[in-house]
Amino acid sequence: MSAFWAAILATTIIDLIELGSIILVVKKFWNERVEIRLVSFAAGVLLATVFLDLLPEAAKGVNEPKQLFTAILAGMLALFFFERLMQRDHSHGTTGHEGHHHPPASRYFIIIGDGLHSMIDGFAIATSFIVSFDLGIVTTLAVLAHEVPHQIGDYSILRRRGVSKWRALIVNFTSALAALLGVIITFAFQGAIQDHLNLFIGVTAGMLLYIAAVNLLPEMLHGKVKGRVLYLTPFIIGLVLISVMTQFLPD
């Protein structure tokens, strides 16, 4: 399977899992404890993916380390300014979390922000598959881990903004499909990307590091759900899972 179709398949599977998660989890057994466990697992997966997989891959063949660190910083700053411009509520939570996050954005900013965020995920997945199939698999798992609680949280936000159940579901799924557009755009400029592939991996690592450090870890540290020490378990599971995968998958 070509890198392009592998990336398309990966993003499609993520979109379908997100849709199924919203339908199943929100209707059946979603609560703040389930949410924080997913967030904790996602944080572990993202941090391990960045430091044990993406950055070692990006460091290969880099003649000037400063360029790689600049690319990582660029990825982090890009998401920072993106979130500031969107003024969106990037919480992964329900009503119990509203007091902890940014001021509520309009439903339109949420929709636009979700779409652009999904495009960035598509870019990350496509760039990884351009490097290797194995790196693409690990990055896909990292994106999936943080996107499921993210999409469920945004579904809840839309519902609190007065959007009907089915319209909120359609909006979430449509914005998630923007990841496919991110994949297509990335492969459209594949030649330019391959000329500076290590730097693009660095940008991807910076974006995922920002998501983990700014959006996920604060949930674990400052969330209002009792028994936070128990949520270290899914965090450690996420770290170990990626560690094992990077050990057994071939370079």
Tokens of 100: 């902890």
- The pLDDT score that the predictor gives to residue 58 is 84
Q: In the chain, what percentage of residues exceed pLDDT 70?
A: 78
Q: Tell me the pTM.
A: 0.69
What element of type H or E holds 206? helix 197-210
Residue-wise pLDDT tens digits, 68-87 = 999 999 989 988 887 777 65
Angle at 163 between CA 160 and CA 168, to 5 degrees: 100
Closest to 211 in 3D by CA, of 82, 68, 86, 103: 82
Give the relative orientation of helices 32-49 and 232-248 as an angle to the nearest 10 degrees. 30
Predicted confidence (pLDDT) at residue 234 exceeds the cutoff of 50: yes
Tens-digit pLDDT profile for residues 135-163: 899 889 988 887 777 777 677 667 666 77
pLDDT for the residue 28: 67
Domain boundaries, the chain: 3-248
Q: Are 46 and 145 spatial neighbours (Cβ–Cβ below 8 Å)? A: yes
pLDDT, tens only, 46-73:
888 889 888 888 888 677 888 899 999 9
Q: Which of 52-56, 140-144, 221-225, 238-242 has the lowest mean pLDDT?
A: 221-225
Contact by Cβ (8 Å): 22, 172: yes
How many CA atoms, within 13 angstroms, populate the side-chain half-sphere of residue 119?
A: 13
Tens-digit pLDDT profile for residues 108-135: 556 666 777 788 889 989 999 998 898 8
Question: What is the C-alpha to C-alpha distance for residues 49 and 140, in angstroms, rounded to an integer?
Answer: 10
Dist CA 68 CA 182 (whole Å): 22
pLDDT at residue 99 above 50? no
